[in-house]
Amino acid sequence: MPELPEVETTRAGIEPHVRGQTVRTVIVRQPQLRWPVSPDLAHVLPGQIIHTVHRRAKYLLFEADTGHACLHLGMSGRLRIVPADTPVARHDHVDIVLDNDWTMRFNDARRFGSLFWLDGPPEQFSLLAHLGPEPLGDEFDGDWLYARSRGKKASVKTFIMDSATVVGVGNIYACEALHAARIHPRRPAGRIGRIRYRALAKAIRQVLADAIIAGGTTLRDYIGVDGDTGYFQLRLAAYGKTGEPCPRGCGPIRREVIGQRSTFFCPVCQK
């Protein structure tokens, strides 16, 4: 699944092409995604200007005159800018055609994505209302993690992957941040002190920022808006490295399943 860096990379690649452009038409070829595409979208969005593109967690918010188009890429979704006359490919489910003869095209082979029209404040939308802070925003730090973790018996990995704690820390980046902070992923969240949480928050910020600069992590399905793949996978220290030496010169990286997700860590330096 595209994680926060991949979604942010998509946002940054899409926005210059759509900002200030008027929507000519919306073509919905397959309305049955994870949830049905909002029926209002094809009727309300044409004629409106897309003013900017925001990201909230893994959702893209296209701000128009009277509301927002809210897109989630799902597990395999791709959003690209193509000429309006580009032939339609398999799994090209939705086109948002602009007046400049370019089209924002959503392709989703597994159909786990979603596309909604929001005519109210996005923060009141049911899927966004209860999300935690952005990991790269001012509200997120080690003190926040420490306060939220008190009394928590769940593993710290499960804790930081909970979107009510902080958004956008998916499996890959949770493994990498915990390795950078030298924290064992099975350690109970409530038994980690403030100083170590400050180190973990710093690691989460750094890992995500580095991944955004590198264009994300391509493991299976993710392809960027320009068709290129991300390169952060070349810099992974723990994820997917089972049996390989820890970059710190410790023992081999170990794989275990935590919360039904493959988890990679160094049993020597992560405590």
Give the per-residue SS3 of the chain: CCCHHHHHHHHHHHHHHHCCEEEEEEEECCCECCCECCCCHHHHCCCCEECEEEEECCEEEEECCCCEEEEECCCCCEEEEEECCCCCCCCEEEEEEECCCEEEEEECCCCCCEEEEECCCHHHCCCCCCCCCCCCCCCCCHHHHHHHHCCCCCEHHHHHHCCCCCCCCCHHHHHHHHHHHCCCCCCEHHHCCHHHHHHHHHHHHHHHHHHHHCCCCCCCCCCCCCCCCCCHHHHCCCCCCCCCECCCCCCECEEEEECCEEEEECCCCCC
Domain presence at residue 157? yes
Sites in the chain below the pLDDT cut of 70: 1, 215-234
Query: Which pLDDT does position 235 carry in this prediction?
Result: 73
CA-nearest of 142, 153, 156, 131 to 70 is 131
- Residue 135 covered by a domain: no
Residue 13: CB partners within 8 Å, gap ≥ 6? 81, 224, 225, 226
In a domain, 271, yes or no: no
Residue 152 marked as a ligand binder: yes
Same domain for 218 and 119, yes or no, is no
- Largest Cα–Cα distance in the chain? 60
Q: Is residue 181 part of a domain?
A: yes
Token pair 């989460």 in the structure block, residue: 204
Same domain, 71 and 148: no
| 241 appears as a binding residue in the annotation | no
Q: In the listed set 76, 93, 124, which residue is the last one of a domain according to the structure?
A: 124
Residues 144, 200 contacting (CB under 8 angstroms): no
Ligand-binding annotation for 202, yes or no, is: no
**Domain CATH for 107:** 3.20.190.10
Give the domain CATH number at 185. 1.10.8.50
pLDDT of residue 3: 82
Question: What is the rounded end-to-end Cα distance, in angstroms, of the chain?
Answer: 28
pLDDT at residue 226 in the model: 52
pLDDT by residue (tens digit) across 55-64? 999 999 999 9
Cα–Cα distance between 253 and 255 in angstroms, integer? Answer: 7
* pLDDT for the residue numbered 89: 94
Give domain status of residue 131, yes or no.
no
pLDDT at 70: 97
Q: Is the pTM of this model over 0.85?
A: yes
The domain tally of the chain equals 2
The residue among 93, 124, 155 that closes a domain is 124
Active site residues: 2-3, 58, 261
The residue with tokens 């935590």 is 258
Q: Are residues 219 and 146 in the same domain?
A: yes
Q: Which domain, by its residues, includes 68?
A: 4-124
